[in-house]
Amino acid sequence: MRVLITGCKGQVGYCLTEKLAGQVELLALDSEQLDITDAVAVDKTVAEFKPDFILNAAAYTAVDRAEEEKELAYAVNCEGPRNLARSAHLYDSVLLHLSTDYVFDGEGGTAYHENHTPNPQSVYGASKLAGEIAVAEECNQHLIMRTAWVFGEHGNNFVKTMLRLGLSHNQLSIVGDQYGSPTYAGDIADALIAMMLHVASGKQTAWGVFHYSGAPYVSWFQFAQRIFDAAKSNVVLAQTPSLKSITTAEYPTPAKRPANSRLNCEKIQSQFDIKPSDWQKALTNISAYK
Averaged pLDDT for residues 27-39: 97
Binned at pLDDT 50, 70 and 90, residue 289 comes out as confident
Binned at pLDDT 50, 70 and 90, residue 198 comes out as very high
pLDDT tens, residue by residue, 221-252 = 999 999 999 999 998 898 999 999 999 999 99
Residue 288 within any structural domain of the chain: no
**CATH number, domain with residue 84:** 3.40.50.720
Residue 60 within any structural domain of the chain: yes
The rounded percent of the chain whose pLDDT value lies above 70 is 100
Averaged pLDDT for residues 147-165: 96
Residue 255 within any structural domain of the chain: no
289 catalytic per annotation: no
Binned at pLDDT 50, 70 and 90, residue 86 comes out as very high
Binned at pLDDT 50, 70 and 90, residue 61 comes out as very high
Residue 231 within any structural domain of the chain: no
Residue 73 within any structural domain of the chain: yes
Residue 55 within any structural domain of the chain: yes
Residue 72 within any structural domain of the chain: yes
Domain of residue 272: give its range.
2-156+182-213+262-278
Number of compact structural domains in the chain: 1
The rounded percent of the chain whose pLDDT value lies above 90 is 94
Convert the chain into a string of H (helix), E (strand) and C (coil).
Answer: CEEEEECCCCHHHHHHHHHHCCCCEEEEECCCCCCCCCHHHHHHHHHHHCCCEEEECCCCCCCCHHHCCHHHHHHHHHHHHHHHHHHHHHCCCEEEEEEEHHHCCCCCCCCECCCCCCCCCCHHHHHHHHHHHHHHHHCCCEEEEEECCEECCCCCCHHHHHHHHHHHCCEEEEECCCEECCEEHHHHHHHHHHHHHHHHCCCCCCCEEEECCECCCEEHHHHHHHHHHHHHHCCCCCCCCEEEEECHHHCCCCCCCCCECCECCHHHHHHHCCCCECHHHHHHHHHHHC
Q: Which residue in the list 60, 74, 124, 217 is annotated as catalytic?
A: 124
Averaged pLDDT for residues 30-49: 98
